[in-house]
Each structure stands twice: as structure tokens, then as C-alpha cells.
């Protein structure tokens, strides 16, 4: 009797804990702010870029992609998106998820631009300008090397750009040119002493902390290595990262895009909540109508199941997509399945004339192999879905379904075996236990 | 006791006809690949006024998107789903500007574009996933039934049952593709995998009972043992299917939207899967056990 009470106590404590984690739905627990909603529910932008790695040397792919990711991160930070996801997918793809964000086309275009930085000089009389900013009109800084006119860009930097502080506390950005870069730099800086050198990314000048373009003045001819002074530490660090990532031209192509307006998703949240609730209630009604007291206990277990499941979603956290909610609702059906298997076994045992206590134990132990076997295939399917979903650009719903179904199945085994059994055992030895008809349909009739 | 196995040839006939129809539809009409497998762009837009479906289609053709698919969403006649070839940002802007000029302001509710590279990659990954999933599950079944005499027969029967379920579910989608323009997307494949899982679950429960009853030796006739096992597990199979169907119907009625087709796959698949694990798979096992195929193929021997 004592052991039984301990189990009931643990179950109640776990239930209370689940509710505490869960409520209020939007509240914070263990640093988790509400239940994570996927882009299809919350709205937002989901993009996949494919990097053209043809210019990248073998063995350098990973570091190059990581550099590109750092650059994209820098471009996204100023947009003020909460919890953006920027990660590598496969060998040469980059996933960018901006939940709840609505950004302009210009901002979107900037995200996927090549990380290459270009250097510019002020235009002379009658020359066409490529860039115009607060400091004036600029054209690409070029020089003729080996009979070819070439532009000075970040691809000529060596990888070892870094930031240090000089003895007076000034921030220095130290860089080195490679062989060809040295020749270009020598020719260009030789021409531009005491003149500014603009730095541009795509169509935009690189802006400093104060919003003014960064355009260091050339002090002397720079050949193999040089330094940029007068930047703030933040500017210098950001620039050094960008220079390191921009050494190689890695054009990005937008290969997948999904954009959902927050309004379109909002309807689905309340609809799915309703669906989940109605689903649970209908299943409960069916269980009670068919299996009576065990059905009612299974319904209690189902409430426990729902609370524990959602609490786990919140804690991990699982990002709920529409498909993920589908997986959760389907797992309600599976959660009931384990109970049904057990109750059917119990029914047979009761028909065989056993007492309630014996029937419960036999029902549980004998149904176990079928429960286990039939859930293994679900596990296999779920794991494959999770893996596959993570490798496909549009795979978020697949992954979401797999994940919620997997969690649901594991939790359902726990609730069926532990909770339903503990609740059923409460009846053993009570007066109700003798009325076996309450525990099983059609017992004691014919047959 | 209900005699299910005794009517096995009726069930074979029903399944056979369903499979035959499915194959015919799949061969003749195939499955309509959705955006994820065929690449392109799809957008949901909402006009601030009523727009005629035909006029919208015409305007799209004027703008150079003659092959677009236009679907009306809801009953307001102002929300549409438009499917085009893959659009660049520039092309999308022009398209929306063109539509605004003609039909007044519009809001873009969602937009999705899939590059051919991604579509190809998705198709390849999906096919690999289906093959791996099927293979791993069959391996598991062979392992689970390893101690049963003639476990190879159980494994083969499982495979037949699996093909049966997938073919019929895909067949229904092929028919719906012709009648209602339904497409198969990534969630369709997810649904098919889930169906395989559920169907195997059901079959496992029935076979598990046959395995147990054979061991107990409740009858010397395999046919009787199989029938007894089916009847014993019948309520469980039906009740489980009922609860799953309840939850799916609720999803369909209250959520629908982008997971509508997915829910239909699960719904059709679970029903077909239950039919198969109760009426077809065990019957196949009986037919094999009693060597009826041989008699069927060589009637002269049977008459002896």
C-alpha cells in the first residue's frame, strides 16, 4: 500500500510540475519564454542560400562557410529580429530563419550578398561614379598589374587580419596583402597618399558606429602589410571579421524562400489549440463509453499526458509548426492505443475469471510486448523523419512532425504503463473491484 | 465466433481490385508533384476587393505567367493562391505591381519559392528516406519474429501488406489528383511513412497474437488459430483506428490549411492499413501455410 501511495504522489508531483512549467502559456520557466512557434504559425522569413564554392580551395570549405555565416550574422543583427537562426545545412547551404520578422526587400537583398568588400577612390572630373555617400562620389580603386586592370577587393587579403591596441590606447586593424594584392596596393596607395580610401560592400558604403562611411586616409604607400587607425574597437573587430570572410568570392544564391505574414499564422494557433482540445475530449468520451472505469482512468492519464507533453515541448524547446501540432494530435491516438491494448488484455483476464488485481497485473505484463513492438516502428519512422527533415530546405514541418510524434510516443508509453496502472491499482481491494462489469464491457454476459 | 479467415478470398478480391485500380491510376495519371518536388513559387495574396478568378488568370497570362495555377481560398473571392515558375525578387515585385494596377491593393500573406536545385535535392533525399525506412522496418520485423518458425513468411507478408497500403493510399491520391488537382508534397511522403508505421503496428499486434497462440497450441489447424487471434485482437484494432480517426477528423475540420492533404493521407492510410492487418495479412499467412497457392496454380493437383 505504501509503495502504491508513493507512486501516486510522484505522478501528482509530476503533473503539478508540468502545469507549473506550462502555465501561463506565454510565461517564462527555466529561461524558456512561452512555447516556440514555427514560422508557419508565427509568421516570418525562412531562406536557404546555396554558396558557390567553386573558387574555394579543398579543405577550406568549412571555415569559408563559417566566415560567410559570421558575415550574414552581422547583417542580420541590426534588423532587431528576436532569435534569428543562421546555420549551415549540408556542405554548402546556409539556412536563415527570421521568426516574426517583416523586413524590406532591400534588407533581404543585403543578407545574401557576396561578402566581398571593394575599395574605392573619389572620382575625378567627368568620371562615372559607382558609389555615392556622405563623403562624395566614388569609383572602384584599380591598378594595372601585368597588363590587366584589376580592382582592389578583400579577396587579396591574407587570412590573418587582426585588431590590436597601440601604446597610446588607439585601436589598430592590422592586415596583410597577398602577392598580387601587394602590387595592386602599392600602385593604388602610391597614387592616393593623403586621400581617402572608401570601403564598400555591394552598393553600400561600410558604415561606422556613428553612421558615417568608413574611409581611412592613406598616410603612406602600403605594400605587403598595413594598418588602419582611428576606428572604434567595435568597428575594427567587425571589419576584421568581414575582411577575413570576404577574402574569397563566395556568391550566394537564394534557393528556397518561405515568407509568412504574422497575421496568416495567427489564425492557425487558436485553431490548432481548439483541435487539440476537442480531439482529447472526443477520445476521452469514446474511451469512457467503451471501457467505463478504466476508460475514465485512461482519460485522466490522457490529461496528464497532454500536460506533460506540452511542458516538455516548452522545456526542450520544441518549435511547434502546424505539422508538429498534427504530430501531437496523432500521438493522442497512439497514447490511447497502449491503454486499449492493456484493457483488452485485462478484459480477457477478467473473462477468464481472475480478480481485478490479478487481471490488471496480467493485462499490463502481457500487453507490454505488443506495445513495445508496435512503438518501435513508430520510433524508426520518427527518427528517419527528423534526420530527413533536417536535410531538406523545406523540411521544417517534416522534422516537426517527427519530433512531436516521437516525444508523444515516449511519453505515452510512460503514462500508459505508470499512470494508468497506478490509478487502476487504487481500485484493487475496494468494494467497486467486485463489480467487474464496470471494468470491462460485456464481461459476465454470454461466452 | 466470426469467421474472417474463411472469407479470405473475398477480402483478396476487394484488395486486388483496389490495388489494380490504384496501379491503373498511378500508371495513367501518376501523382502530381507539388512545389517542393517540381520547383516554382507560390503565394497567397489577399485583395482588398472581390476579384474574378478568370480575370485574375487572364491578367497573369498578360504579365507573362500563362501557366500559373490560381486557386480561390475561402469564400470571400478576394484570397487566392497563385503558383508560378520560380520568381526572383525583381520578378515578384513586377508581378505584384501588375496585379495591383489591375485589381487594386493586395497584401501578400505568404510566399514560398523553391529553386530547381533544391527541388531535385528534396526528391532525391525523399526517395532515399523511403527506401531506408522500409528496409529498416523490415529488418526490425525479421528480428522481432526471429524465433518463430518460418519467420521469413511473416517478413514477406509484412512486405506485401506494406506495399498494399502504400499503393492504395497513393492510388487514392492519384484519383484525387485527377479529380481535384491534389498534389503530393513533402508532407504526403511524411504521411506515407507514418502510414507504414501505423499499418505495421496493427499487423504486429495481430501477428504477435498468432505467434503466441501457435506457441500455446490452441488448435492444430493454423487457419483456426489465425482466425481466433484476429477475433481476439479485433476490438483493439478497431478501437485504436477509431481513436486515430477521431483525432484526424478533428484536425481536418478545425485546422485544415497547409496540413489538409497530410491529414487525408493519414486518414486513408490508417483505414486501409487496418483493413489490411485484420483481413488481408493474416489471410495471406494462412494461404501460404496451407499451400493454397500451389493448388490455385495447379488445379489438377488440387482435385486429387
Q: What is the CATH number of the domain that holds A348?
A: 1.20.1640.10
Please report, for residues A313, A406, B115, B131, the alpha-carbon distance to residue A253 in angstroms, rounded to integers and kept in the order given.
34, 34, 9, 31
**Same domain? A275 vs A247:** no
**Same domain? A14 vs A56:** no
Q: Which of A216-225, B22-31, B154-163 has the highest mean pLDDT?
A: B22-31
Torsions phi, psi for A135 (to 5 deg): -90, -10
- The CB density around residue A32, as the number of other CB atoms within 10 Å, is 15
- In a domain, residue A88? The reply is yes
A395 touches chain B (CB under 8 A): yes
Domain boundary, last residue among A245, A260, A275? A260
What is the three-class DSSP state of B96?
helix
When CB atoms are compared, the residue of B36, B200, B251 closest to A329 is B251
Q: What is the pLDDT of residue A445?
A: 39
B260 touches chain A (CB under 8 A): no
B1 touches chain A (CB under 8 A): no
Domain boundary, last residue among A227, A260, A293? A260
**Same domain? A219 vs A151:** yes
Q: Which domain holds residue A122?
A: 48-260
User: What does the alpha-carbon distance between residue A203 and residue A207 come to, in Å, rounded to a whole number?
Assistant: 12
Strand partners for B53 = none
DSSP assignment of B23-47: HHHHHHT---B-HHHH-EEEEEEEE
CB-count burial class (<10 Å; 0-12, 13-18, 19+) for A227 = middle
pLDDT level of residue A433 (50, 70, 90 thresholds) = low
- To the nearest 5 percent, what fractions of chain A are helix, strand and coil? 55, 20, 30
Strand partners for B72 = B80
User: What does the alpha-carbon distance between residue A436 and residue A353 come to, in Å, rounded to a whole number?
Assistant: 10
pLDDT level of residue A202 (50, 70, 90 thresholds) = confident
Q: What is the pLDDT of residue B268?
A: 92
Q: What is the pLDDT of residue A441?
A: 60
**Same domain? A156 vs A286:** no
**Same domain? A246 vs A337:** no
Whether the Cβ atoms of residue B234 and residue A267 lie closer than 8 Å to each other: no
Whether the Cβ atoms of residue B293 and residue A357 lie closer than 8 Å to each other: no
Q: Which of residues 45-104 of A touch B (CB under 8 A)?
A: 48, 50
Domain boundary, last residue among A260, A286, A302? A260
Q: What is the pLDDT of residue A447?
A: 36
**Same domain? A111 vs A67:** yes
User: What does the alpha-carbon distance between residue A325 and residue B258 come to, in Å, rounded to a whole number?
Assistant: 12
B151-180 and B260-275 helices cross at what angle (nearest 10)? 140
Chain mean pLDDT for chain A: 80
Q: For residue B93, give the chain A residue with the closest CA.
A: A105
Condensed to tens digits (0 to 9), the pLDDT of residues B179-234 reads: 888 888 888 888 888 888 878 888 888 888 888 888 888 888 889 999 999 998 88
B222-254 and A322-351 helices cross at what angle (nearest 10)? 140
**Same domain? A256 vs A268:** no
A262 touches chain B (CB under 8 A): no
Checking if the pLDDT of B126 tops 50, the result is yes
Cell of A322: 502546424
Whether the Cβ atoms of residue A324 and residue A401 lie closer than 8 Å to each other: yes
**Same domain? A388 vs A372:** yes
Cell of B78: 478576394
- In a domain, residue A404? The reply is yes
Whether the Cβ atoms of residue B41 and residue B111 lie closer than 8 Å to each other: yes
Half-sphere exposure of A378 (CA within 13 A, CB side): 29
Cell of B289: 501455410
- In a domain, residue A443? The reply is no
**Same domain? A170 vs A312:** no
User: What does the alpha-carbon distance between residue A71 and residue A60 come to, in Å, rounded to a whole number?
Assistant: 17
Name A201's Cβ contacts closer than 8 Å, sequence gap at least 6.
Answer: A113, A115, A116, A117, A118, A242
pLDDT level of residue A265 (50, 70, 90 thresholds) = low
- B119 to chain A, closest Cα gap in Å: 9
With pLDDT > 90 as the criterion, what percentage of chain B qualifies?
A: 17
User: Residue A86: which of A68, A110, A69, A104 has the closest Cα?
Assistant: A69
Looking at this predicted complex, what is its ipTM? 0.84
Checking if the pLDDT of A62 tops 80, the result is no
Q: Which of A66-80, A189-203, B22-36 has the highest mean pLDDT?
A: B22-36
With pLDDT > 70 as the criterion, what percentage of chain A qualifies?
A: 89
A322 touches chain B (CB under 8 A): yes
What is the three-class DSSP state of A249?
coil
- In a domain, residue A225? The reply is yes
- In a domain, residue A381? The reply is yes
User: What does the alpha-carbon distance between residue B142 and residue B155 come to, in Å, rounded to a whole number?
Assistant: 6
Strand partners for A163 = A173
Whether the Cβ atoms of residue B42 and residue B82 lie closer than 8 Å to each other: yes
Checking if the pLDDT of A443 tops 70, the result is no
Comparison of pLDDT for A111 and A401, the residue scoring more: A401
Interchain proximity A290–B186, CB inside 8 Å = no
User: What does the alpha-carbon distance between residue B231 and residue B221 come to, in Å, rounded to a whole number?
Assistant: 16
Quote the DSSP letter at residue A153: B
The pLDDT of A69-83, averaged and rounded, is: 76
Comparison of pLDDT for A124 and A313, the residue scoring more: A313
Residues of A in contact with B201 (CB under 8 A): 337, 374-375, 377-378
CB-count burial class (<10 Å; 0-12, 13-18, 19+) for B284 = buried
- In a domain, residue A13? The reply is yes
Q: Regarding beta strands A136-140 and A117-122, do their DSSP bridges make them parallel or antiparallel, or are they unpaired?
A: antiparallel
User: What does the alpha-carbon distance between residue A133 and residue A330 come to, in Å, rounded to a whole number?
Assistant: 58
Q: What is the pLDDT of residue A1?
A: 53
**Same domain? A365 vs A426:** yes
**Same domain? A162 vs A92:** yes
Q: Which helix (H) or strand (E) holds B128?
A: helix B116-144
Q: What is the pLDDT of residue A176?
A: 84
Please report, for residues A377, A444, B285, the alpha-carbon distance to residue B202 in angstroms, rounded to integers and kept in the order given.
11, 28, 15
- In a domain, residue A380? The reply is yes
All structural domains of chain B, each given as residue ranges with its CATH number in brackets, are 5-34+118-303 (1.20.1640.10), 40-114 (3.30.70.3220)
**Same domain? A379 vs A312:** yes
User: Residue B164: which of B142, B133, B196, B210 has the closest Cα?
Assistant: B196
Whether the Cβ atoms of residue B241 and residue B270 lie closer than 8 Å to each other: yes
Question: What angle (nearest 5°) sits at the alpha carbon of residue B108, between those of residues B102 and B110?
Answer: 140
Q: How many structural domains comprise chain A?
A: 2
Amino acid at each position: 500500500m505504501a509503495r502504491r501511495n508513493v507512486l501516486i504522489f510522484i505522478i501528482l508531483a509530476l503533473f503539478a510540475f508540468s502545469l507549473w512549467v506550462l502555465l501561463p502559456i506565454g510565461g517564462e520557466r527555466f529561461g524558456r519564454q512561452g512555447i516556440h512557434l514555427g514560422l508557419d504559425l508565427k509568421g516570418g522569413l525562412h531562406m536557404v542560400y546555396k554558396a558557390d564554392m567553386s573558387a574555394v580551395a579543398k579543405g577550406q570549405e568549412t571555415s569559408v562557410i563559417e566566415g560567410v555565416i559570421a558575415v550574414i550574422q552581422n547583417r542580420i543583427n541590426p534588423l532587431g529580429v528576436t532569435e534569428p537562426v543562421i546555420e549551415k545545412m549540408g556542405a554548402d547551404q546556409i539556412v536563415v530563419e527570421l521568426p516574426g520578422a517583416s523586413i524590406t526587400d532591400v534588407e533581404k537583398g543585403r543578407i545574401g550578398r557576396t561578402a566581398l568588400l571593394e575599395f574605392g577612390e573619389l572620382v575625378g572630373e567627368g568620371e562615372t561614379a559607382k558609389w555615392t555617400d556622405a563623403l562624395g562620389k566614388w569609383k572602384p580603386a584599380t591598378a594595372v598589374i601585368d597588363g590587366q586592370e584589376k580592382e582592389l577587393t578583400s579577396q587579396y587579403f591574407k587570412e590573418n587580419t587582426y585588431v590590436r591596441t597601440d601604446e597610446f590606447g588607439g585601436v589598430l586593424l592590422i592586415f596583410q596583402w597577398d602577392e598580387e594584392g601587394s602590387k595592386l596596393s602599392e600602385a593604388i596607395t602610391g597614387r592616393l597618399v593623403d586621400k581617402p580610401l572608401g570601403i564598400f560592400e555591394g552598393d553600400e558604403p561600410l558604415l561606422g558606429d556613428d553612421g558615417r562611411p568608413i574611409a581611412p586616409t592613406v598616410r603612406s604607400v602600403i605594400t605587403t602589410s598595413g594598418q588602419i587607425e582611428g576606428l572604434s574597437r567595435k568597428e575594427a573587430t567587425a571589419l576584421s571579421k568581414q575582411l577575413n570572410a570576404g577574402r574569397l568570392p563566395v556568391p550566394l544564391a537564394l534557393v528556397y524562400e518561405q515568407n509568412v505574414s504574422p497575421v496568416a499564422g495567427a489564425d492557425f494557433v487558436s485553431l490548432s489549440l481548439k483541435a487539440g482540445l476537442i480531439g482529447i475530449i472526443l477520445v476521452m468520451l469514446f474511451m469512457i463509453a467503451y471501457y467505463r472505469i478504466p476508460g475514465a482512468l485512461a482519460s485522466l492519464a490522457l490529461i496528464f499526458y497532454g500536460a506533460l507533453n506540452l511542458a516538455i515541448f516548452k522545456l526542450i524547446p520544441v518549435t511547434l509548426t502546424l505539422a508538429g501540432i498534427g504530430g501531437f494530435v496523432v500521438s493522442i491516438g497512439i497514447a490511447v492505443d497502449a491503454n486499449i491494448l492493456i484493457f483488452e488484455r485485462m478484459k480477457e483476464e477478467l473473462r477468464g475469471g481472475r480478480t481485478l488485481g490479478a487481471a490488471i497485473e496480467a493485462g499490463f505484463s502481457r500487453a507490454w510486448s505488443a506495445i513495445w513492438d508496435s512503438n518501435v516502428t513508430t520510433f524508426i519512422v520518427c527518427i528517419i523523419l527528423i534526420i530527413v527533415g533536417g536535410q531538406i530546405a523545406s523540411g521544417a514541418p517534416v522534422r516537426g512532425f517527427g519530433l512531436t510524434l516521437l516525444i508523444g510516443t515516449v511519453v505515452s508509453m510512460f503514462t500508459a504503463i505508470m499512470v494508468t496502472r497506478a490509478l487502476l491499482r487504487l481500485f484493487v481491494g475496494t468494494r467497486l473491484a467486485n463489480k467487474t462489469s464496470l471494468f470491462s464491457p460485456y464481461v459476465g454476459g454470454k461466452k | 465466433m466470426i469467421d474472417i479467415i474463411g472469407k479470405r478470398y473475398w477480402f483478396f478480391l476487394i484488395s486486388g481490385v483496389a490495388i489494380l485500380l490504384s496501379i491503373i491510376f498511378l500508371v495513367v495519371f501518376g501523382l502530381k508533384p507539388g512545389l517542393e518536388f517540381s520547383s516554382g513559387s507560390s503565394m497567397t495574396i489577399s485583395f482588398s476587393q472581390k476579384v474574378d478568378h478568370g480575370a485574375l488568370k487572364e491578367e497573369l497570362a498578360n504579365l507573362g505567367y500563362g501557366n500559373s495555377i490560381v486557386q480561390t481560398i475561402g469564400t470571400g473571392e478576394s484570397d487566392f493562391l497563385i503558383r508560378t515558375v520560380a520568381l526572383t525578387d525583381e520578378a515578384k515585385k513586377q508581378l505584384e505591381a501588375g496585379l495591383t494596377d489591375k485589381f487594386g491593393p493586395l497584401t501578400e500573406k505568404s510566399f514560398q519559392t523553391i529553386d530547381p536545385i533544391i527541388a531535385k535535392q528534396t526528391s532525391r533525399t525523399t526517395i532515399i528516406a523511403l527506401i531506408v525506412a522500409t528496409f529498416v522496418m523490415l529488418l526490425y520485423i525479421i528480428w522481432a519474429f526471429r524465433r518463430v518458425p518460418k519467420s521469413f513468411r511473416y517478413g514477406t507478408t509484412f512486405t506485401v501488406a506494406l506495399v498494399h497500403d502504400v499503393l492504395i493510399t497513393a492510388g487514392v491520391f492519384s484519383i484525387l489528383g485527377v479529380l481535384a488537382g491534389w498534389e503530393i508534397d513533402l508532407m504526403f511522403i511524411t504521411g506515407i511513412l507514418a502510414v507504414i508505421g501505423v499499418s505495421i503496428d496493427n499487423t504486429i499486434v495481430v501477428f504477435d497474437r498468432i505467434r503466441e497462440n501457435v506457441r500455446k497450441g490452441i488448435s492444430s489447424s493454423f487457419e483456426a488459430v489465425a482466425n481466433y487471434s484476429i477475433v481476439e485482437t479485433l476490438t483493439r484494432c478497431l478501437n485504436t483506428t477509431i481513436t486515430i480517426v477521431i483525432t484526424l477528423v478533428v484536425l481536418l475540420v478545425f485546422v485544415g490549411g497547409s496540413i489538409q492533404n497530410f491529414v487525408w493521407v493519414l486518414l486513408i492510410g490508417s483505414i486501409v492499413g487496418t483493413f489490411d492487418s485484420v483481413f488481408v495479412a493474416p489471410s495471406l499467412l494462412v494461404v501460404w501455410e496451407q499451400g493454397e497457392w500451389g493448388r490455385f496454380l495447379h488445379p489438377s493437383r488440387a482435385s486429387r
